[in-house]
Amino acid sequence: MKPEYVAAIDQGTTSTRCIVFDHAGRLVSVAQREHRQHFPRPGWVEHDATEIWRNVERVLPQAVAQARVQTDQIAALGIANQRETVVLWERRTGRPVGNAITWQDTRTAALVDQMAAEGGVDRFRERCGLPLMTYFSGPTLRWMLQQDTILQEQAERGELLFGTMETWLIWNLTGGPDGGLHVTDVTNASRTMLMDITTLQWDEELLDAFRVPAAMLPSIRSNVEVYGTTTTALPGISIAAALGDQQAALFGQTCFAPGEAKCTYGTGAFLLLNTGPTPVRSAHGLLSTVGYRIGETEPTYALEGSIAVTGALVQWVRDRLGLIESAPQIETLARTVDDNGGCYVVPAFSGLFAPHWRSEARGLIIGLTSYITKGHLARAILEATAWQTREVVDAMNADSGLALTGLKVDGGMTSDHLLMQTIADVLDVPVERPLVSETVSLGVAYAAGLAVGFWPELNGLRRHWHRAARWMPEMPARRREREYDNWQRAVARTYDWIRMEDEDGPGA
């Protein structure tokens, strides 16, 4: 039977989904399962990697069954994943040695500070494109190994395997302990602090600095190539692409030319700007990263601004404060008032990411008076995402020498029309949402399809991009700059909150 579809797994921070797309890039079916978030201590965030794998085993065949297609009609499978989240598992048994430590986790703060004291926060930036931060996989891996000398010894003997989530899933999908492929893609490898961003290979000096044995590392592959064939979950499908979720969204938004940018709004927010075949070294707090690599062609690089908490702030209001029962209610509540009433929320739950990179910062709500209602607080919560976007765009404009003229957006938060209008207002540029808002899944589906000839070339993919909504700026310039100044003053008050003696948590 002729292959007529491509499947995509999007293994995200809060859930795992599988989407089947047809040749026109239209969504045919979707299956999704959430997984638990584990918070064992303040600043610690973990996932059960086995639970996530079990969810993949369920959603892949479920999505294909819902599409009412046969396995041999699936031309290829692509995998996108939450980046930087670290999994360690035993090669022989396939059993994780503990929970996966996520990209939001800050337990490595003391280790990062120690390494920075020895050579500065940018001591590895020229080589790997990244500053020393708790965000990245390398410090997390170092922390995990140094907790137990047995783990270090196992790693040195190659008995212990390291991977981010796409590595873990590919290994399991291709057989696990029975011959599973131990590979990673170049975009995820570029987020570890262990890969040379120019050579695209694991770097001996970086491995030595983090005391990471090479024997535990996966081989680095391009984003668009056939890695192998599934033997479990739904056997017989070619795994033909892997991308970190934000690079997948860049691909799905068809930002194939230098200067094109997208921002994905999910648990966090991630703005990527295509910078072409040469990495741009940021002087304004952005990250130099690999955008994508197609087969053996030269890579495409990107500048990235990462915001730790956007959708997670809405989840916090729902799950921890109980002010709303569902995420969409935040917009309804915010529309009960006309402004924030002088209230600002800075969600530095895990420190501040781009462009500040202050791991010791913590969140605050400021400007409270007896006038403030739940509506004002809800509006301030939405505005926090918009102002954080503005900070990243300002940095990106400064690094690139260009002024952003428009922004393509995607992700779950783009269904909030008030938020999208607010972003257009604070950036003073049009904001556009595509017809298919789940561009992470679409992007890795495009990549997988390219690898097997399902789609012949990049320019053809552009014809599949269609605009679903557009928001034009409406806020007066004077008000915009006054509010931005207030936001920046609020951000400055989050600095220097965590001290070394606070690392063990309250009451320690």
Percent of the chain with pLDDT over 70: 98
- The kind and range of the H/E element at 370 are none
**Cβ atoms 427, 271 nearer than 8 A:** no
pTM of the model: 0.83
Average pLDDT over every residue of 339-357: 92
The answer on pLDDT for 41 being more than 50 is yes
In the structure, what pLDDT confidence band is assigned to residue 463 with cuts at 50, 70 and 90?
confident
Rounded to an integer, the average pLDDT of 461-476 is 92
CA distance 307 to 287: 12
Kindly state the average pLDDT of the residues 176-194.
96
Is the predicted pLDDT of residue 506 greater than 60, yes or no?
no
The Cα-based distances of 494 to 44, 254, 456 in angstroms read: 19, 37, 50
At 272 the three-state DSSP class reads strand
Percent of the chain scoring above 90 in pLDDT = 75
From first CA to last CA, the distance across the chain in angstroms is 64
Model pLDDT, residue 501: 54
Residues 6 or more apart in contact with residue 190 via CB below 8 angstroms: 128, 129, 197, 200, 289, 290
Most confident of 73-82, 148-157, 398-407, 434-443: 73-82
Cα separations in angstroms, 444 against 8, 78, 303: 6, 5, 19
In sequence order, what E strands does 266-416 have? 269-276, 287-292, 300-307, 344-346, 364-366, 407-410
Cα gap 166→173, rounded to integer Å:
10
Q: Are 101 and 46 in contact (CB under 8 A)?
A: yes
Does residue 320 carry a pLDDT above 50?
yes
**Alpha-carbon gap, residue 372 to 362, rounded angstroms:** 22
> Above 60 in pLDDT, residue 416?
yes
- The helix or strand, by DSSP H or E, that contains position 328, with its residue range, turns out to be none
pLDDT at residue 1, rounded to an integer: 64
Q: What tens digit of pLDDT does each residue of 18-37 get?
A: 999 999 888 999 999 999 99
Omega before 177 within 30 of 0, i.e. cis: no
**What are the tens digits of pLDDT across the range 278-307?**
888 888 889 889 999 999 999 999 999 989
Is the model's pLDDT at 397 over the cut of 90? Answer: no
Q: Distances in Å between the alpha carbon of 266 and those of 14, 30, 387, 427?
A: 10, 18, 16, 19
pLDDT at 504: 52
The answer on pLDDT for 243 being more than 90 is yes
Maximum average pLDDT range among 118-122, 224-228, 393-397, 437-441: 224-228
For residue 100, what are the β-bridge partners? 47
Rounded-to-integer distance, Cα 467 and Cα 432, Å: 7
Give the pLDDT band of residue 507 (cuts 50, 70, 90).
very low
Mean pLDDT, all residues of the chain? 92
- Measured distance CA(454)–CA(464) in Å, rounded: 14
Question: Cα(444)–Cα(168) distance, rounded to whole angstroms?
Answer: 17
Report how far apart, in Å, the C-alpha atoms of 318 and of each of 38, 307, 324, 329, 389 are: 17, 20, 5, 9, 22
Give the angle subtended at the CA of 126 by the CAs of 124 and 128, to the nearest 5°.
65
Return d(Cα 137, Cα 160) in angstroms, integer: 16
Helices (H), 190-258: 204-210, 245-252
- For 80-128, what is each residue's pLDDT tens digit? 999 999 999 999 999 999 999 998 888 998 999 899 998 888 899 989 9
CA distance linking residue 144 with residue 101, whole number of Å: 9
